[in-house]
A and B are shown apart, each in its own frame.
Chain A
């Protein structure tokens, strides 16, 4: 099934996603699609439920309701999708690709099998391990297979040594890309904040993801570092063919690099479109800036509420 270049194929399809914590509805019936080869931004005021959506996608939360479908390759034919939904299976292969139901998978399988990687709002590097070790831990599953679940590794076979060399080369490549090659042997906890952010992105990329989820990657960065981050993310999209889903508050970053923006307020999706459309959407403006008391009715009418 050929997809025209102008029509990007869906990578991640979220349908009717809801997440309740007791009486609190953090995400309420949210649906959106992230397309292959695009940078999709998820924005919204504080407490809108953005990180909850992330945690549902990456398996850290089990959503109360809804479907999170991720596809590799071409979209699943209707009968395959029905077969997947009708049974308790987590994934299905079909000619031209495979499909994964992320809400059914444990968190580590989402990274290992469905190939979705993530970073965290508060950086979670392995502070006591070196920069290089951080990038090697990210290649755990590849290396674990190469080491024959440690048996071939203990014996030090040539096959494992070759795999380790490849893993180090890959890490070296990423360190050169993010400009940290000279600090490869320093503990990750010693790096300045901006470098830690970039290292966390590189570490996530070392898991070979098709979708990279970034939770506020520009938080705490100065304008120059933010611009560098934008360049890095664009290169990830084009060179590594990894699509990106990001949460971000820095509107200059969002508007500059995103292909597609989704706006969340109180757990509800209120807008979905290109950065240009979002910038001019009255609902978004009202959600972000608020409106004067006497303009509420007018704004609501305009917003169609």
Chain B
């Protein structure tokens, strides 16, 4: 280990912060060294004769150890108590009064509504598709999914690792109903929500007596079961091939195509596919806002308060006459319903769905958005979704980095690394998420934010 001091530090240094930091850094570097031998230092490749050859990359290991040593040293040398403690108590957002919050809310909404038109005006017809579709629609789908999961995880405190299953149920319900019975998107949408809620209840009945880790594992398994059924029930779902040709949504019966009855012709506009994209943007915006509105309303209703009480103390809930099974089932099915709506939208937006879109990774991303945002906080979750999904999309924009790192460098491949880093940084800096305080659902005189130290995360 070239970077680690081989001799023990002098006795005087042992107790000083610098000495401790040095020791810590050396240990971290040693650990990195040990970990990187099997996964980085030794690499197996195939040569021209299809034989395995072993290549070693000790230079890379040395660089990695040095980086870890320096970072860990820097971390250790930041005076304890000033860095960590103030960062934790620092408020992410300045404190606003109720009127300012109201103004900000409407301004944000106006900006969202104007967003596709702004994008169209600033980047032109062909340039704006990327901004409206990849950034706008994609982010809003995840905002909606995360808000839906927030009901289950953030409010009711039930750790659900299989949320993507309900997304899949919604998408496949829409695809199959539309293809088989020729139903329009606007009829499929509520049906998809109902189907997903039904599956939420079906899953909920057997598993809701489980708590914490056990619940998480069973929901994870449920997500996989749905995916495997979709893959293997080829007659019904098309298997890996998926379902294609899902009808696109219409503008209240007017299709978005170049025909004389199409949207552009009816409104006397020149035909371009951008109108459909803009329309889809407004549809998902409306769906996401519906999720948000329902969640905010539910939080102030007895059902929502019972969810939060359940997260705080289930036994106390039972002693107050709350039927915890029904309350949990309500959380599961309402959360699933919004997942189903998002799935229905996804199916009609893509026009093609396959089991590939509903892997565990999706559940993990949605859950990490909820955790990063601050469980239970609507604003925090929305910010986290913008940062995580928008950030991923932004990585695609960094093609200029190829000039620095060579042509084989693909920034989008570092998505998971960035995710992981963001997660670690947030968990150190704000262990309870971006917005960790809880806003009370009702107040007599003054609305006071409740510190996350008192709020529990729920045990399942």
Please list the residues of chain A having a beta carbon within 8 angstroms of any beta carbon in chain B. 58, 60, 107-112, 117-118, 120, 124-130, 132-133, 136-141, 143-144, 147, 149-150, 153-154, 156, 168, 172, 181, 184-187, 189-190, 203-204, 207
Contact = CB atoms under 8 A, between A and B. Distances in A.
B294 interface: yes
A137 B312 CA distance: 12
17 contacts: A111-B319, A120-B315, A127-B454, A133-B305, A133-B441, A136-B442, A138-B320, A144-B306, A150-B302, A153-B302, A153-B303, A154-B294, A154-B297, A168-B442, A185-B440, A185-B443, A189-B454
Contact of B319 (A58, A133, A149, A153): A58
Contact of B445 (A117, A133, A184): A184
Given A144-B302, A185-B446, A187-B451, A107 B318 contact: yes
A137 B317 contact: yes
Contacts of A168: 442, 444
Contact of B301 (A125, A154, A185, A190): A154
Given A129-B305, A140-B305, A168-B442, 15 more contacts: A107-B318, A108-B321, A111-B319, A118-B319, A120-B315, A130-B442, A130-B448, A132-B443, A133-B440, A133-B442, A139-B302, A143-B302, A184-B443, A189-B454, A207-B321
B323 interface: yes
Contacts of A126: 308-309, 312-313, 316
Nearest to B443: A185
Contacts of A127: 312-313, 454-456
B70 interface: no
A197 to B, nearest CB: 14
B438 A150 contact: no
B324 interface: yes
B298 interface: yes
A107 B305 CA distance: 19
A128 B320 contact: no
B54 interface: no
A195 B340 CA distance: 45
B301 to A, nearest CB: 4
B91 interface: no
B336 to A, nearest CB: 16
A206 to B, nearest CB: 8
Contacts, number: 138
Given A128-B456, A187-B450, A140 B443 contact: no
B303 A144 contact: yes
A261 to B, nearest CB: 24
B30 interface: no
Nearest to B313: A124
Nearest to A130: B440
B64 interface: no
Contacts of B442: 130, 132-133, 136, 168
Contacts of A130: 440, 442-443, 448, 450
B373 to A, nearest CB: 17
Contacts of B294: 154
Interface string B283-317: 00000000000100110011101101100110111
B447 interface: yes
A9 to B, nearest CB: 24
Contacts of B454: 127-128, 187, 189-190
B322 interface: yes
Given A126-B313, A189-B454, A150 B446 contact: no
Nearest to B448: A185
B321 A112 contact: yes
A153 B330 CA distance: 15
Name the 4 nearest CB pairs between A and B, nearest first: A128-B455, A111-B321, A112-B321, A143-B302
A155 to B, nearest CB: 9
Contacts of A143: 301-302
A108 B320 CA distance: 7
B303 A150 contact: yes
B456 A147 contact: no
Nearest to B334: A150
A147 to B, nearest CB: 5
* Most B-side CB within 10 Å, residue of A118, A128, A190: A128
A272 B442 CA distance: 46
B435 to A, nearest CB: 14
A121 to B, nearest CB: 12
A125 B456 CA distance: 12
B438 A140 contact: no
A128 B302 contact: no
A149 B292 CA distance: 19
A186 B302 CA distance: 19
Contacts of B316: 120, 124-126
Contacts of B440: 129-130, 132-133, 185
